[in-house]
Structure 1
């Protein structure tokens, strides 16, 4: 089974949007359009097993140690895609007649010299790609390192050794070609071996995407998570040095969550960073299941089957749903999801903020009681309803956490963004309103003399 999620979760974690702060943008160091498409598909589809995750991690780690970016050229690949789509003329039954016909058609019947040059160049570039990729895979195989899914590509070259003359391809790739050889390979590339050339292109796009991730791994000191199975005892999630990619100077936090205490009750005043923390955790969990490195110093996690979040939930005016009813529907969907995909991770930011305080208090307390005892799954609940903390303080399944706020003589409050134990006690709403002189702004509005009823 793979990590199942949904559109709301992908939106909350900003995975696939094209804005500047999305995961897709952060990892998109690709040099070809095909590589970019491959990266998008990687981020859209978590992997189905720990073995598949390890294979991708190993391939990324290996490609991060070699320099092969010169191989990727967006414009060259666009031209080669166009070349491969071109229809090829019907061939004669006898090879010699076939070759003669092709030569006549291509070099004597075509009026455009540019078309002939396009064919020459395309054949040479495909030969160059075949040779270069074979060299990369051979080097990986002989490196003695774990190379993951790159090992599968070695089978491609072994299987196709009988279809392509490696030495002839090397000569063609270096520019040492004859008209006859070009004609023959033009026919092979766009005719009987077209699917093999297509596989070659897909291989290059895959490597381009993996190299892009490797660049991000190297430049930002990311780490590869260790994935555990259900048989792994005690720990459900361990992260050391967790941070958010969107922050210029992020504050790092550590997490340690065990089977017996798998419900996090997270409190803190506005602007303390609760939503950012939840997103950071969710991003690490999601990337781990994609096989990508994560923004942390180290990470160990259970292989989960589901991840659902409610962080940026909005009301559905078109359907006539209030914000609270949207919350209710979302929570029910999470329960139904968990019934099919356990163990799961559930993240709720400012739970039940669409209703009054008393309703929110009772609903939050009832929800925590209803999930207590669901082992192996993770629950992250952030709220301003700090009074619930007193009622769940003795619940052995709940960990009380908050983000620290310090008193400051000059500024009144200072946010450290550090995660600590306990329930937040600071109430900073009035402090913010007074600091910004909100009430004074309205008090300063006086009626003009002509409006004075006296």
Structure 2
């Protein structure tokens, strides 16, 4: 565990907490000042009525109104900063939790679990205490889906190399990464389809009747009313005119209430959301990128000025939300036909800017997945980025490889080498000696390697391969499937996959457990021989020593490895280190003896 990294996060978290406290105090102070100013506005209206003086009303409304609006703006800014630093503190402390306890505030990916997938269920890719839970930093559902897709299928070589470069660059920009995680944290609470709803809304026209003349009238209406109010101080008929204009303005607003409500129903809820996304777009655009992958993504939005466009829409929607304050909304609509102005402005924005928005939000999706992978690089600087091998044969070479989900202080590292060839490696060994963990170690690190992430190893070289696992075979009452039937289905899938054009690398842990020992051996032997005929490549872990004897029949194709135990003073000692050859020591009888079951010699 790298204490210097934890110390860095602790300092960052403390700094964020201090800023949060500062802006919380400022927001509270300005909230109190707003209340005072609003009270003064009420007092000015009272004296205007008492003294029948329109100028007291106008003076109080204009001067204090501007002060009130300024205070609202300042408090809103403080509230945003307060929330930002609160979220920054959360995502920073979360990094400490992931390193120390594997707890993660982000989604664990259980929605992407699939027992019938080639390998994700057997290798703990999704769900509780999974690889996804360890590395996910995507707040949006789209970002999580992109990351899940990367982990569910190997990428082609050039994409893997591009992602490696991108992940390494983001890894040197941890301040930028945490900043954007904080800006996107709000999306964790959003419905999974909120981005789709947003895109749909931006493509859906309002069709406001009379939009052309309403747009023109809204521009002159405040001047008409203001002129009438000023003249009413000198000419009584002007008072009636002012009342009529005010009444007309409110009537127009009420007549378009259906359109205002329709806009408010969707747009009114996304103003702040768009503002958050605008901030993320801006940070991506402004960052100085060197990696080609990151540059391409940034250029997609930079060339369109996406952050400025999204910020403009967010501002328009937030202005529409001013009517949520009944008093402010009344005066704004009375003088400015405020709601009419804003829905027209929003519609104009949609007509002029809705193109390429899906592409823009896809950039955030990609960066969320890249930031997730970069978290491994930042938090585990001793991990290595693998080389991607070419060649017709299979390459999977690793030095000091360990399982990334096991505590580093407890994980045992091993070496493994398969150089541009076609081999099936048989791994025998005692119960609990480490066979299954080794298979999962090779598998899960290969998943990381082929999506562009660093691996839990000193070094690694691997071909672009597609893994198929046969490990946790389960029966199913719902599907009326016995364990043996489930095993046959999995074998059928494996054999069909090996016949495909893809490079299939299989991980088999104890074949045909659901049948008797004779059929188990004969069936396992037949499967391995068929895999040899199909030029299959992979690892087979078994307790059955007879399977290891296949090396004598196929010396150019089969290799034997084993995990063993040492017995000292009646105690079993496991070193969890892989060795060449067949296992000679087994421990089932000793384990049974411990629980009171004696086996005859």
User: For this structure pair, what is the TM-score category when the shorter chain's length is used for normalisation?
Assistant: 0.7 to 0.9
The TM-score normalised by the length of structure 1 is 0.76
Are 1:58 and 2:58 an aligned pair? Answer: no
Q: Note if 1:70 corresponds to 2:218.
A: no
Q: Match of 2:453?
A: 292
Query: Does 1:139 pair with 2:287?
Result: yes
Pick closer, same or farther for the CA change 1:292–1:164 going to 2, 3 Å.
closer
Q: Is the 8 A contact 2:211 2:344 kept in 1?
A: no
Deviation at 1:238, TM superposition (A): 0.7
Secondary structure, counterpart of 1:365 in structure 2: helix
Question: In the aligned structure 1, how far is the partner of 2:271 from the partner of 2:145?
Answer: 24
Tell me, what secondary structure is at the counterpart of 2:151? helix
Question: Is 1:280 paired with 2:441?
Answer: yes
> Which residue in 1 is equivalent to 2:207?
90
Note the alpha carbon deviations across 1:93-114, whole angstroms, 9 max, x for none: 9879647669989x9557999x
Q: What's 1:13 paired with?
A: 123
Question: Does 2:594 correspond to 1:426?
Answer: no
Q: In structure 2, how many angstroms separate the alpha carbons of the residues matched to 1:73 and 1:430? A: 56
Query: Residues 261 and 203 (structure 1 numbering): CA distance in 2 closer, same or farther, change over 3 Å?
Result: closer
Q: Based on CA coordinates, which of the two structures has the bigger radius of gyration?
A: 2
Q: Which runs of 5+ in 1 are unaligned?
A: 441-454
Structure number with the bigger relative contact order (C-alpha 8 A, sep ≥ 6) is 1
Aligned pair in 2 of structure 1 residues 76, 392: CA closer, same or farther (>3 Å)? closer
Q: Aligned partners of 2:373, 2:423: CA distance in 1, in Å?
A: 31
In structure 2, runs of 5+ residues without a counterpart are: 1-114, 222-248, 320-337
Return closer, same or farther for 1:219/1:130 CA change in 2, 3 Å cut-off.
same
| Larger helix fraction of residues | 2
Shift of 1:212: 2.2
Match of 1:326 in 2: 486
Give 1:121 shift.
9.7
Q: Is the 8 A contact 1:128 1:172 kept in 2?
A: no
Match of 2:371?
Answer: 211
> 2:386·2:449 contact (CA, 8 Å) conserved in 1?
yes
Q: In the alignment, is residue 364 of structure 1 matched against residue 524 of structure 2?
A: yes
Distance 1:219 1:164, change over 3 A: closer
* Superposed displacement of residue 15, structure 1: 1.8
Shift of 1:35: 2.9
Closer, same or farther in 2 for the Cα pair 1:45/1:260, shift >3 Å?
closer
Aligned residues: 420
- The 5-angstrom pairing of residues 403-422 of structure 1 reads 403-409=563-569, 411-422=570-581
Residue in structure 1 matched with residue 70 of structure 2 by the alignment = none
Answer yes or no: is the 8 Å Cα contact 1:188–1:194 preserved in 2.
no
Q: Is the 8 A contact 1:260 1:396 kept in 2?
A: no
- Are 1:41 and 2:149 an aligned pair? yes
Shift of residue 344 of structure 1?
0.8
Mapping of 1:41-440 within 5 angstroms? Answer: 41-47=149-155, 49-66=156-173, 67-71=176-180, 72-75=183-186, 78=190, 81=195, 89-90=206-207, 98=215, 126=274, 129-130=277-278, 133-141=281-289, 145-158=290-303, 160-161=304-305, 186-221=346-381, 222-230=383-391, 236-248=395-407, 249-260=410-421, 262-304=423-465, 306-316=466-476, 322-372=482-532, 374-375=534-535, 377-393=536-552, 395-409=555-569, 411-438=570-597
In the alignment, structure 1 residue 29 sits paired with structure 2 residue 146? no
Secondary structure in structure 2 of the residue aligned to 1:341: coil
Q: Secondary structure of 2:120's partner? A: helix
Cα RMSD for the two superposed structures: 4.2
Q: 1:151 to 1:326 in 2, by over 3 A?
A: same
Give the secondary-structure state (helix, strand or coil) at the position aligned to 2:374: helix
